[in-house]
A and B are shown apart, each in its own frame.
Chain A
Amino acid sequence: MTSNDIVMLEGGPLVDAAGLEDALGWALKPEGLCKDGACVIVSDREALFHGERIDITAVASLLDRPAATDTQSGLVAIGAPREQRRAAVNDMKAPDFVLPNIDGLPMNFSDHRSKKRLLVAFSSW
């Protein structure tokens, strides 16, 4: 893993085809939403469009990812696929993530696989 599956987009939720693929890694093709050669059928294609442009929050919803928009600033936040959290809370499987250490160097949680790990969430607040 080189980055977490979260997205922050500027300029509102309406994007073109290239913008969609850049942000989510999925392309909207005649056969459906496609990634790495596999496609998900889109039953209501019209619902994804506003005119010529694609509503990325509608696509996120199809991919079972949460999205929130701040209309005034145009920022759109898209969360990780919900299946990652369900793996933790339902299936007791630890989802991977990558974060910088305190000196700014990225570290994958999975770098420490094959060891027992105590994961401690804390804060200064």
Chain B
Amino acid sequence: MIAVAIDEDIPAVRAGCDGITYPVLIDAEHIVAELYAISNVPTVLMIDERDNIVHPNWSAYASDTFRELTGIDSEKQKDHIRAWAKDGTLRMSPDDAKGVVDDLSAEEEEARLVFRIAAKLRRDGDTIGAERNFERANALAPNDWTVRRASQPLRGVNPFGDAFMEIYTEFNEAGRPYHGVTGH
């Protein structure tokens, strides 16, 4: 298991990683969100010994914390992961798995780059420039959580407060777009 935090807040990531023995990587530039078309977290992929993606982007949970919102039973998801780890049993056939993740749109792709510019400006102390680019990125990809929600803590907005419901309502109205598969 390799965990990638789409995040630049290392203390916040560390706080959730007590006792973890597998690698936890810090993706401040959201490179993995660009390379794998990841639009929300958690997103899980199963990759075999020969670099084949045998289960593509999957909205899979480690616990039932969000079960009320998602309706997802995390134990059933973990059973699929355990079965694959144990004897290679796959949740989806290779034919079904192929092509289920839509490529990023031009706007979603650009939003990732503009987000990267904003994050750099913020780190460099240009809060006005950062805000200008966070707004531009969010306008390009309003329903992409790795852009819009990830920008909140960097803009001093509490991602678990009222701002969450605002994004969540729009996301539902847009039909819950996700680059990948959902469900048990």
- Which residues does A use to contact B, with CB under 8 Å? 4, 6, 8, 66-68, 70, 72-73, 75, 77-80, 82, 84-86, 88-90, 92-95, 97, 99-102, 107, 109-110, 112-125
* Docked-complex contact A6 and B29, CB < 8 angstroms: yes
- Which residues does B use to contact A, with CB under 8 Å? 1-7, 9-10, 12-17, 23-27, 29, 31-38, 41-54, 56, 81, 84-85, 94, 97-99, 101-104, 106, 109-110, 112-114, 116-117, 120-121, 126, 129, 132-133, 146, 149-150, 152-153, 159
* Docked-complex contact B2 and A70, CB < 8 angstroms: no
Given contacts A73-B129, A79-B109, A79-B113, contact A124 B7 (CB under 8 A): yes
In the assembly, what is the distance between CA of A19 and CA of B91, in Å? 48
Given contacts A88-B36, A116-B49, contact A72 B113 (CB under 8 A): no
In the assembly, what is the distance between CA of A7 and CA of B164, in Å? 31
Task: Collect the chain B residues with CB atoms within 8 Å of residue A70's CB.
Answer: 114, 117, 121, 129, 132-133
Task: Collect the chain A residues with CB atoms within 8 Å of residue B153's CB.
Answer: 124-125
List 13 A–B pairs whose Cβ atoms lie within 8 Å, in order of A's numbering.
A70-B114, A72-B129, A77-B116, A79-B34, A86-B103, A88-B53, A89-B37, A89-B103, A92-B54, A92-B98, A119-B36, A119-B47, A124-B12
* Docked-complex contact B14 and A95, CB < 8 angstroms: no
Given contacts A93-B53, A116-B85, contact A77 B36 (CB under 8 A): no
Tell me if A's interface is mostly helix, strand, loop or mixed. mixed
* Docked-complex contact A115 and B49, CB < 8 angstroms: yes
* Docked-complex contact B2 and A68, CB < 8 angstroms: no
In the assembly, what is the distance between CA of A78 and CA of B10, in Å? 25
